[in-house]
Every structure is written in C-alpha cells, then in structure tokens.
C-alpha cells in the first residue's frame, strides 16, 4: 500500500553515498505500513482483490450493472493541515480527505467504490503516518468505499521534518441513465440544505489569518461560543454525506446535488443550475455556526467575502422534485442529518441573470 519515493542521495558515516544519509528512512516507512495496515484492511469491500503491498490495487466491478459509468475525483485538505501540525493531532485530517473526495463523487449520483491516498512527508514518523491513515480508513468506512492503496513519500530537503501534505483520488460508479446533473433540474424544484459540521476543509487560509495572526488567538484557548478550544473547533472533521445522499437518491426524485466547498454556497450550487433558471435561497432559514460569526467579526470580513470563502453552515445541497421535498427531509432527518428547505428553483427573468440568488439575512448573525 505504500512505497518510499526516492528523494536524493547523501553520504553515510564512511563517506559513501546512501539513501539514509540523504534523509530517506526506508525502515521507518516499513514500520509505518506495519502500523496502519490493520486499519486499512478494515476499509474494504467484497470487490477488492489481493492485499496490501502490490504495485496496483485491484477492484473487480461487479453487481450486474447495465451501463456503468465510472466517476473520479481528486482533492486534498489544504491549509487545515497547518492546524493539525501545530496541534500535533493527525487522526482527523484523513476524514477530511475522504469527505472532500467522496462527496464530490456522489454529486452525480455515483456510489464511491474505492480511494487511494498520497502522503508526502518531510520525515517519516511511523506513528504520525499511522494516525493520518487511521482517519482515512475511518472515512472510507463511513463512506462505504474501500481504501484500495496509496503511497507515502519522504521528501527531505523539500519539506520540513514535521510537515506533510495529503491528497487522494476516488472512483465511483453510476448507471448511465441515472447520472444526476443540471439537465434534470426543473422550475419548481425544491432546494434542500444539509448542515455542515463547521468550516469543513475550505477557507482555512483566511480563518488562520484572522484568528491566529490578526486576533492572536491560541489554538489551546477555550472559546465560550464553541464550548471547546479553538483548535478543537478548527479540526472538527468534514461531514461525509455520501451514504446519506445515496439513500436520498434511492427514496426520492433527486435532480442533482451540490457539494459546498471553495466558492461557497452560491458558487457551487450555480454549477448545477442550468441556464435560464435561478435558485432563490433564503438566508433566514438557518443560522451559521458561531465559528463563522467569530471570523466575520474579528476580521471585519464582509458578507460577500464570507459567503464565497466558507460554506456558512451548508455542506451539501440537494435539488429534489417538489412532490418529494417532504419525503427528502424525512429521510435525512431519520439519518440524523440537520436539514431544511433552503429555497426553490424558478425561471430566470433574463438569460444573463445569476443562477443562484441569496436573499434575506441570517438570524442572530
């Protein structure tokens, strides 16, 4: 599942060049694999063939699909990793990684099948790598996909010893005639919001600038509005909606989803609203979590900037047929997902109109 990537050469204690002297510790990499292998084995599916250690992961596409279409997505976690590294807490960012990938896959109706991760580190610390992979494995289990393989690469001289970056690619499958998207959206459709668990994994460059640099808050400091420390709030894992979205597809007429990431609610929902239509949304239907208000106040960040940078409390959006709106809310509520009617889709008054319009104000924001 992991392979150490060559990163240069150095001199050993006898004056000869060696990989270890260059900073690449193959033994540490092997130890990391020993630690996380049991975790990775739990994140599997019946279609997975072979075990860890191969050059490629094998996945047998089964299930009697009529006309399967494969969907793929690649993403990372971004500068949220700086918070994890500052707090020396690495067991949640893997959840963020999985969420960012699989929740993009499910937007088109695809069931996530497997994920492969990539971890680049300045220096392999086996226990730290195992913590990261434990989060990835847990996220895959929550999403119902397999952790099929990955790579850990040690980059001495390129990255500082305590720094790392992670990314992943996921693959899903959907029947050709079941692909969701803008072509299915109709006037009168209802827009349903699914609440976020916090900042998720977007906007951390701005959040860190405001809270840690401008306001000089401590990650270890207790924040009354959060009921926990600032660091704990900022490391709250991204919500994984994949199984909830698939349950919604199975029980209601879903036109499309929109995963609210960078670009905010309007920016992402507009990607699945076709020309000639507009989704009119009401800010008065929800109140963003305290972390958003804190950033806005401490940084004097304007509303438009907040809304294009952060999810503002909405992590995923479903556009459903009007006759299924109540049923959709019931399905999500039964799955313990905070949800509400966010707005409706209407015909646009002119062809150049915005495809998403936010109206009203948030209560108590």
Record: fold of 182-359: Phosphoribosyl-aminoimidazole Synthetase; Chain A, domain 2 (3.90.650)
Among the residue ranges 78-87, 120-129, 315-324, 331-340, the one predicted with the least confidence is 120-129
Among the residue ranges 48-62, 214-228, 279-293, the one predicted with the least confidence is 48-62
Record: fold of 24-49+66-175: 60s Ribosomal Protein L30; Chain: A; (3.30.1330)
Share of the chain above pLDDT 70, in %: 90
Domains 24-49+66-175 and 182-359 share a fold: no
Average pLDDT (93-108) is: 98
pLDDT band for position 93 (50/70/90)? very high
Average pLDDT (264-277) is: 96
Residue 270, number of CB atoms within 10 A of its CB: 18
Written as six digits, the tokens of 242 are 């994949």
Among the residue ranges 47-61, 64-78, 341-355, the one predicted with the least confidence is 47-61
Q: What is the pTM of this model?
A: 0.90
Sequence spans of domains, the chain: 24-49+66-175, 182-359
């Amino acid at each position: 599942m992991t392979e150490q990537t060559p990163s240069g050469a150095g001199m050993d204690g006898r004056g000869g060049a060696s990989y270890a002297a260059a900073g690449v510790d193959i033994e540490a990499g092997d130890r990391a694999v020993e630690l996380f292998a049991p975790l990775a084995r739990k994140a599997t599916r019946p279609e997975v063939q072979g075990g860890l250690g191969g050059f490629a992961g094998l996945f047998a596409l089964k299930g009697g699909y009529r006309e399967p279409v494969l969907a793929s997505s690649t993403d990372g976690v971004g500068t949220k990793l700086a918070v994890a590294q500052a707090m020396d807490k690495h067991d949640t960012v893997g959840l963020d990684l999985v969420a960012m990938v699989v929740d993009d896959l499910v937007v088109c109706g695809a069931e996530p099948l497997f994920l492969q991760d990539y971890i680049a580190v300045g220096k392999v610390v086996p226990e730290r790598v195992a913590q990261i992979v434990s989060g990835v494995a847990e996220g895959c289990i929550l999403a119902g996909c397999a952790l099929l393989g990955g790579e850990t690469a040690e980059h001495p001289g390129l990255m500082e010893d305590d720094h790392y970056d992670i990314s992943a690619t996921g693959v899903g499958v959907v029947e050709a005639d079941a692909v969701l998207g803008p072509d299915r959206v109709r006037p009168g459709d209802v827009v349903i919001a699914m609440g976020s668990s916090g900042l998720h994994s977007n906007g951390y460059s701005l959040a860190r600038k405001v809270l840690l640099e401008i306001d000089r808050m401590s990650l270890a400091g207790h924040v009354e509005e959060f009921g926990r420390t600032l660091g704990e709030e900022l490391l709250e894992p991204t919500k994984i909606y994949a199984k909830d979205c698939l349950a919604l597809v199975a029980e209601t007429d879903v036109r499309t989803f929109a995963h609210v990431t960078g670009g905010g609610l309007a920016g992402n929902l507009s990607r699945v609203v076709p020309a000639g239509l507009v989704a009119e949304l009401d800010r008065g239907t929800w109140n963003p979590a305290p972390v958003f208000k804190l950033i806005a106040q401490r940084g004097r960040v304007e509303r438009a900037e907040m809304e294009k940078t952060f999810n503002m409390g909405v992590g995923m959006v479903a556009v459903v047929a009007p006759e299924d709106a109540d049923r959709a809310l019931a399905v999500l509520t039964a799955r313990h997902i905070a949800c509400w009617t966010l707005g409706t889709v209407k015909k646009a008054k002119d062809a150049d109109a915005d495809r998403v319009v936010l109206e009203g104000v948030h209560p108590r924001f």
